[in-house]
Amino acid sequence: MAAFATLLVSPPPAGASSTILCKGFTACAKAGYSNFGYAAVYRQMFWRMYSGHNCTNYMAYRMIQAGMSSTRPWSGSGNARNWGVVFSSKTNQTPMVGSVAWWSANHVAYVEQVVDANTIVISEDHYGGDFDWRRIVRSGGGWPTGFIHLRDVALKATAAPAVTGTAQVGQTVTAKPATWSPAPSATSYQWTANGVAIAKATSATLAVTPDLLGKALAVKVAASRTSYLSASSVSKATAAVLPGVLKQTQTPAVTGIPKVGAVLTATPGGWTPAPASMVLSWRADGVPIPGATGSTLRLGPAQLSKKITVVTTAAKTGYTTATSTSAATAPVGPEKLTMSKAPGLTGVARVGGVLEVTPGQVTPAAATGYQWFRDDQPVPGANAARYPVTSADLGHVLSVKVAYTRPGYTTIERVLRAPIRTRSIPVVRLRAASSRAVVVRLTAAGIDPVNAFVRITEGANATSWHQLVNARSTFTPRWLKPGTHRLTVTVRRSPWIEARTVTLTVTIPR
């Protein structure tokens, strides 16, 4: 806390040049002097200044309240005497409303009012003292060492200016003044067209000339007042300045066959009086085609299935720019892809296996897309040529749609199906249960429990088929004598299980 000790210094004693207007949060509020919310938060630290009654903490609060960062804008001592040093480039002898009154003897205050060049009203707080408002007169001592301009108060427009009158060539528009707080001592005007200042247009009225045709007019009003930052306010823009009207005598037209690769031709239409210029713009379904401004248009893949129109824009100085659109063509037709090699499907539809498409070939070359299906329902995210079969596919028929696409060409689609429903490969386990008895147990990915049919054989000896219950079955054939045996376990195929035969060694106890 030693670093803050020098902050806790009372300001220089108020001399005869100072008049206390109020003292204390409550008394000041009753007298109509605000503390701007500081009374509720003065025990907090602002800019790491000491909390409580303290001049630097109050000023930090007011600067933050005025829009500065809550982080102290310099490193080092927060001493009041240091403020004018830190902000030397922003410190001068001119008081402004919202500036920081600074005493090099170690005090800062907020300039609330500049009565004249030699009289100011401040609000302040004091270490070891209280919050107050003071009037300070330059004569007699006690005048601040300087004024720091961090967040001076600017004039504020409470209502923007407005443009009245008709924005039309030959008419005069007038600026309805803005209203300000506080009232300015001087105002000035600047008219703009499409946001650009109009030369010498600095009065409250503006004669609308032909060079403003088609432009939006606005007026910027600047206001100034001693001891406040100047401010400006801009009116809403008018609609475009109105011109004369071109009368159409013939509608634009499009001729030619609407098909990819074909060429369409435009007839631009006509107006009276004759326009100085006519510009063509081709459109597909109403959207401009980039770069298509000539009298002809070669149709490309981007225009497939779209209706084509041509828009003619006619212009003449002093007249409204006119546009006219031709009737739309029929939708642009496609070319066709030719398949030279059909796609194929490889792999086995079993859990843990992989199905894969061997791509076909089309002319001209086209993009190939894939969508896998499970019982004709799309598998989310399965859009590659290779499809790993999972337990979710068990018992279902897998298929894939292969699509060949090229802009401007008819899409070719082929559907490939796995020949069987997806099955799982069983894992067989065999153990001796007791004398002359073995237990067969099956597991399979995605199936719990497995209840397939199994049997065991040894040479010419064989059991009958048993259906497993809860994935297991016990065999007790008469020929299964104590000793070591090589038994063959056969699993019968089912809609979910692949057929399998395995030979395992088991020792039957005596």
SS (H, E, C) 328-385: CCCCCECEECEEEECCEEEECCECCCEEEEECCEEECCCEEEEEEEECCEECCCCCCC
**129 to each of 4, 28, 124, 274, how far by Cα in Å?**
17, 14, 10, 84
Look at residue 318 in the predicted model and tell me its pLDDT: 77
User: Alpha carbon 138 to chain centroid distance?
Assistant: 56
427-508: which CATH number, 2.60.40.1180, 2.60.40.10, 3.40.50.12780, 1.10.3720.10? 2.60.40.10
Residues 6+ apart with CB under 8 A from 370: 357, 382, 383, 384, 385, 400, 401, 402, 403
Residue 256, token pair as written in the block: 């030619």
Look at residue 13 in the predicted model and tell me its pLDDT: 43
CATH number of 247-325: 2.60.40
Nearest to 111 by CA among 99, 125, 94, 103: 99
- Which value, in Å, is the radius of gyration of the alpha carbons in the chain? 46
**Residue given tokens 């212009």 in the structure block:** 315
Which residues does the chain have with pLDDT short of 70? 1-16, 244
**156-234 sits in which CATH class?**
mainly beta
Look at residue 3 in the predicted model and tell me its pLDDT: 32
What residue segments make up the domains of the chain, in order of their start?
A: 2-148, 156-234, 247-325, 336-417, 427-508
336-417: which CATH number, 2.60.40.2700, 3.90.1150.10, 3.40.980.10, 3.90.650.10? 2.60.40.2700
